Structure 1
Amino acid sequence: MEAAEGKNVQILEELNRDIEYLALNLRKFIRKQVTGFKKRGVVIGVSGGIDSAVALTLCVQELGKENVYCLLLPEDESSPSSAILGAEICESLGVPYEEVSISPILRSLNIYDKKEQIIKRTCPDYDPDIHKTSLVLPDFLTHGLLNVPYIQLVKDGVPSGKYRLKANDYLELIGLQNVKQRSRMLVQYMYAEKLNYAVCGTTNKTELLLGQFVKYGDGGSDFEPLADCYKVQVYALGRLLNVNEDILKRPPSADTWNHFTTDEEFYWRMPLQILDQLLYAQEHQLPMEVIEKNTGLSSDTIEKTWRHIKRIRDSTEYVRAVPPVCHIGR
């Protein structure tokens, strides 16, 4: 996408223009990939979120509902609304789907027990009978570069305590949580290979730039139709494609905690529209005065945000990287 030139650039308008043309190109891309891989159709994991809803709708429009197979892949800590919304969009499009719980895989690896041990030693007041939990980070626009992860206890829908995680416990917790996305992709490939289908990914550009996906999990697909679309563009596509209003209104989330935790609370640390405008401005090297005008942020805050984004990208470089090969020159 080419940015308009001059000081009157409206970033959100730039991101949301030519959405019909974008949808057409995405559909062509989907067909090209499936045909190129010599596959009969696509398998897609449907989460009840906007990314999978848009990817699914585009696949159905281009390939036909008879060449798309959907999987709902809940686990014990998933929000019940995820499977409900996922089933609703599959049924509205007439696409065959199946619900396959990944909880047995997680229990076989003691993921839930290991996670609870970390929570118990971090949160002395934790009672699994009354508390739900989430992992949160401080809001960037309020707390700046301070990046300390906390376990938050929630009782009856109300936060009742927040406890700082030790570094080692945080790393172990992330490793345990990431098994969920990897288990989901394992199931998707099992079905895809049985059907001779390709696995359609649902990662968007915002996630790709920040490394906000799990290597060999949700990042392990055969092709990624949305990976050059910022998240706000995915929402614009959703409106164009008449995606269920409940999905359009649902906050983005990895949905791996029993208290629904949004991407803004844990990963982005700022509102999506601010983040996408900053990423777009950085990509197109827009002048500082244009960025200030569009985001409402001061130049000092914007500079701090650039440092924050750079730190995220540096720390997730290995997630985006293809495994290096040692070329021996023979």
Structure 2
Amino acid sequence: MQSEKIIHHIVQWLRDYANNAGAKGYIIGVSGGVDSAVVSTLCAMTDLELLMLELPIRQTQDEISRAWEHMNFITQRFPNAKAQRVDLTATFEELENTFDVPENQNSNQQLALANTRSRLRMLSLYYYAQTNDLLVCGTGNKVEDFGIGFFTKYGDGGVDISPIADLYKTEVYALANALNLVESIRNAIPADGLWDTARTDEQQIGASYPELEKIQKEWGTKTAANYTGRDLEVYRIFSKMHKATQHKITPIPVCEIPEEWKNTES
């Protein structure tokens, strides 16, 4: 993998897009994970304005510490970068009360609340983006965005631009190493931070990113009959999630109306 070429390409792409859009730069939610760390670093390297927001909702201290270790690392290196904390815990809890969430939630209610956290962060990012003439930069990678749809619709999926969506998670880690990001970020176990109890991505999905990448790279050329053992298990996980999340992965369907039906003279 030619990391330096990829880094230069993405930075130039981000710079060109913002300039063409007439924006001052980018805003990004920093979670303490590798994806947001890599993307925020690439945004900082454009020399355009960068606002990094920490948006905690009952986050663990480990997640908060990693996020700030990275943001301090960036603000010390790039004078165009700023960091800010916007604690959304009280706002989220007010929503819980408004929604009258039962104490014993079923799985759908639990997932809906987890996704509400992500959507609340999206609302916050767009508020600060609009008030500062910035674009919201996405952090989704190729497996999440186009493989298994592991993101929240109109949450972390609600962005203006997506610079690493053509890179697999292992490739994002390679960029993190090439960018010499702080060690805590490079060693962080992937987690979406949407639950009160610690849940890694692998625990939620049932497979690791390298395992999923193998299936996605072969998707469309191989079927279940080509796999055995653990590979077959991961294939079934990938297939199930890929099919179930097409409403997120594919563009919103539009009901097309024949032009002649819209002719007022008919």
Q: Same fold (TM over 0.5)?
A: yes
Give the count of matched residue pairs: 252
Of residues 164, 174, 177, the one that matches 1:236 is 174
On the 8 A contact 1:111/1:176 being kept in 2, the answer is no
Whether 1:262 and 2:200 are equivalent positions in the alignment is: yes
Structure 1 residue 44: Cα displacement: 0.6
Q: Give the corresponding residue for 1:85.
A: 66
The code of the aligned residue for 1:46 comes to V
Q: 1:105–1:254: structure 2 CA closer, same or farther, 3 Å change rule? A: same
Q: 1:113–1:186: structure 2 CA closer, same or farther, 3 Å change rule? A: closer
Q: Give the corresponding residue for 1:251.
A: 189
Q: Give the corresponding residue for 1:44.
A: 28
The code of the aligned residue for 2:120 comes to S
Of residues 280, 302, 306, the one that matches 2:235 is 306
Of residues 212, 215, 232, the one that matches 1:275 is 212
> Could you say what secondary structure the match of 2:162 adopts?
coil
Matches within 5 A, 1:61-140: 61-64=45-48, 67-76=49-58, 78-94=59-75, 95-110=81-96, 117-118=103-104
Report the identity percentage.
Answer: 29
Q: 1:113–1:249: structure 2 CA closer, same or farther, 3 Å change rule? A: farther
On the 8 A contact 2:28/2:125 being kept in 1, the answer is yes
Counterpart Cα distance in 2 of 1:302 and 1:194? 48
Structure 1 residue 170: Cα displacement: 1.1
Of residues 112, 115, 121, the one that matches 1:184 is 121
Q: Give the corresponding residue for 2:138.
A: 201
* TM-superposition CA deviations, 1:32-56 (whole Å, max 9, x none): 2212322111011011110000001
Q: Give the corresponding residue for 1:216.
A: 154
> Which deviates more, 34-43 or 209-218?
34-43
Q: 1:324–1:281: structure 2 CA closer, same or farther, 3 Å change rule? A: closer
Specify every segment of 5 or more residues in structure 1 that has no aligned partner in the other structure, as ranges: 1-16, 120-168, 292-297
Counterpart Cα distance in 2 of 1:233 and 1:274? 14
Relative CO higher for 1 or 2, CA cutoff 8 Å, sep ≥ 6? 1
Structure 1 residue 112: Cα displacement: 10
On the 8 A contact 2:73/2:182 being kept in 1, the answer is no
Counterpart Cα distance in 2 of 1:176 and 1:42? 28
Structure 1 residue 308: Cα displacement: 2.6
> Could you say what secondary structure the match of 2:157 adopts?
coil
Query: What is the TM-score when the length of structure 1 is the normalising length?
Result: 0.71
On the 8 A contact 2:11/2:46 being kept in 1, the answer is yes
Q: Give the corresponding residue for 1:18.
A: 2
Cα RMSD for the two superposed structures: 2.3
On the 8 A contact 2:212/2:234 being kept in 1, the answer is no
Counterpart Cα distance in 2 of 1:33 and 1:325? 27
Structure 1 residue 96: Cα displacement: 1.1
The code of the aligned residue for 1:236 comes to A
Counterpart Cα distance in 1 of 2:181 and 2:26? 19
* TM-superposition CA deviations, 1:133-172 (whole Å, max 9, x none): xxxxxxxxxxxxxxxxxxxxxxxxxxxxxxxxxxxx1112
On the 8 A contact 1:48/1:84 being kept in 2, the answer is yes
